[in-house]
Amino acid sequence: MNTEQNLLNNSYDRDFKVLAVELLAYDPLNGSGGALKRVTTNAMGEYQMNDKVEAGDVTYLGMEDAEGDWIIQKIDNTSGISRRFGTKLNNPTYSSYSLAWTDRLTLTYGTYSEAL
């Protein structure tokens, strides 16, 4: 039963003798329609870079998290710096990072708010 007392008892850390809470945040790329995920204190961020390719004035950065969600960032320096993002959200037919990275030249890219 989820009484207030039961929740407090279950959140007590016996090693440190304090109440422990877990931070949650909404991740729009997790599952279909987004989901809550644990907020971690990873200094490198949740997504780690797998690949980087520089092709003239365009750079592609391929990143992935531990759950297989991916972001491919396209940085175009042709006329200033333009940064666009390809994700599962704006490329739903790409179910894996490796497929998306292979087709990075033809992915749909959008602004941060469009891709995330």
The pair of structure tokens assigned to 37 is 């995920």
Give me the pLDDT at residue 27, please: 76
Q: Domain boundaries in the chain?
A: 4-38, 48-115
pTM assigned to the model = 0.65
Q: What is the pLDDT of residue 24?
A: 75
Residue 109 in 3-state DSSP? Answer: coil
29-65 b/e with 16+ CB inside 10 Å = b? bbeeeeeebeeeeeeeebbeeeeeeeeeeebbbbbbb
The per-residue pLDDT string of the chain (116 residues; one tens digit each, 9 = 90 and over) reads: 678 888 777 777 777 777 777 777 777 777 667 777 776 655 446 788 999 999 999 999 999 988 889 999 999 998 788 999 999 999 999 999 999 999 999 999 999 888 88
